[in-house]
Structure 1
């Protein structure tokens, strides 16, 4: 029984990692929509899908725990909503590889947050991982700087650099989201946890839309846009994000987080096939350093879990 449960969790983690890679692709097809509209409708579709699954499969919905943890769930929704806003902005402003690699620096920030608030001293391996990832970020920044010399377009360079910063901010917010939500994940079943988070995240995005964009949220009418939104709301959101959290209950954090590292690889392959975005060799080297550094940090977290 234990082996079967582990296999199921591994399947959930791998599936989540693969479908995370589709997010950037769907966002690229939504070039006619602004960032807030994409984030809002993505969350609304995910809410509807998860609610439908919960009702159809007659899953237990823990209303008492939701009421008890209402403020915590609302804050998690704020973090998730901001994460989506930053990540979608990054995909629009920089390349798919930049956005998906930099957003996966989340474990680096997560370790800093754990050390600061929970007094967990990082090991030498973790410190080495942080340095390795930082060097990788510097390589990416240098490659971006070379773009201005080759392209002589200040606007193009500024947009790409802005996207890189947005991707890092998305990673930081996600780290806050994961650290704050860790306790709740052990107290509530996945549907009772994720549905309120998706709803509150959608509300936060909706509230921020008009003050920041002076636009109202209207559902698009174009078939291509609707299909892309459905894909974004169902695959990397309702399916991947939910499976990712579900796998955490049966896998070590190192194993689950490693599954998520499939995102930049899958997204880059899809980006090459669909948009012919061929990354520069030196940028690929920087990306490899970032992923290697993340691996070292996750390895350290895994060793910590074993000691506990």
Structure 2
């Protein structure tokens, strides 16, 4: 019996590794699809989110009873979470229009650090000395990355700032989501939050009189690729893999997204990486990698913040707190 189990694991291992690579490649293409689109940032984000809603909706409707269980508090938190996610896409996508893929993606990798800071402030989560060193290493790395953009003009620095604001917004989205994820499954939560986030961007477009239609076929293709490949295939594949691998493994893999995006930007967009960006990027990624390896809140089934049994039963798997199919 033990021999059969070992054989099954050995057979599944290549499938898992290939799936992790496909998921990483899919999310890494997110920045490339945005760069290939000439549409305004809020339009790109709106259609990416709403197209993703349409793709997730058939699965969410199978759990329609979860919608009926939502309390007024849950609805408020879903709306608040959606607002933060909408702001994240607004600022982060615009950052890619202003600065390089390398700078924007390295800065957004700070998200786990900001989530930890928020958890300390809101949930009184304890932070170790090692965690503080990780944060300092990552922050220093981002400062070095930003310093590389000083000689490129104010536009690049503004892009770095937009990426930082977008990272703060997605961190608040993750923290808010922790309060409501015990009520609904991941698919239902994503449908609700994605719809609200898309609505935020829709209202922004209306307020700024940004055209909602009359975009080229290339732009509509990019909207669809962002939804199908980067959101559903990329992050959705990571969600599916949580059945067989730990949340830490997923976190480590997603950490490779900035690296993948930078390599793709070099190959497909001709964007070189200067020395300071490389040094700062390495420092930042080491800090975040070290943090994810040592911070217990990123381990599955954590005792301090155990995933809700009801949500796990509805989803058919154990999920780490706040993990979902959003992200960059």
The TM-score range, normalised by the shorter chain, is 0.7 to 0.9
Cα RMSD, aligned residues only: 2.7
Could you tell me how far apart the structure 1 residues matched to 2:271 and 2:106 are? Answer: 15
* Structure 1 segments unaligned to the other structure (5+ residues): 149-156
Aligned pairs for 1:25-64 (under 5 A) are 25-31=32-38, 33-52=39-58, 54=59, 59-61=62-64, 62-64=66-68
Query: Which residue number corresponds to residue 147 of structure 2?
Result: 142
Query: Which residue number corresponds to residue 198 of structure 1?
Result: 194
Give the match's secondary structure for 1:188: coil
Deviations 1:115-171 (A, max 9, x none): 1111122111111111111211121122112x24xxxxxxxx111111111111111
Q: Which has the higher contact order (CA 8 A, sep 6+)?
A: 1
Aligned pairs for 1:233-252 (under 5 A) are 233-244=227-238, 252=246
Query: Which residue number corresponds to residue 169 of structure 2?
Result: 173
* Structure 2 segments unaligned to the other structure (5+ residues): 305-328
Report the Cα offset of residue 16 of structure 1: 3.9
Which has the larger share of helix? Answer: 1
Could you tell me how far apart the structure 2 residues matched to 1:301 and 1:82 are? Answer: 27
Report the Cα offset of residue 302 of structure 1: 2.8
Say yes or no: does 1:113 pair with 2:118: yes
Aligned pairs for 1:279-294 (under 5 A) are 279-294=273-288
Report if the CA contact (8 A) 2:292-2:298 is conserved: no
Could you tell me how far apart the structure 2 residues matched to 1:24 and 1:303 are? Answer: 28
Report the Cα offset of residue 214 of structure 1: 2.4
Report the Cα offset of residue 188 of structure 1: 2.1
Report the Cα offset of residue 215 of structure 1: 2.2
Give the match's secondary structure for 2:273: coil
Report the Cα offset of residue 250 of structure 1: 7.0
Deviations 1:22-44 (A, max 9, x none): 1110011112x111111111112
Out of 218, 223, 227, the position equivalent to 2:217 is: 223
How many residues get paired? 291
Q: 1:250 to 1:107 in 2, by over 3 A?
A: farther
Deviations 1:212-242 (A, max 9, x none): x22242252x222221111112111233344
Q: 1:249 to 1:25 in 2, by over 3 A?
A: same
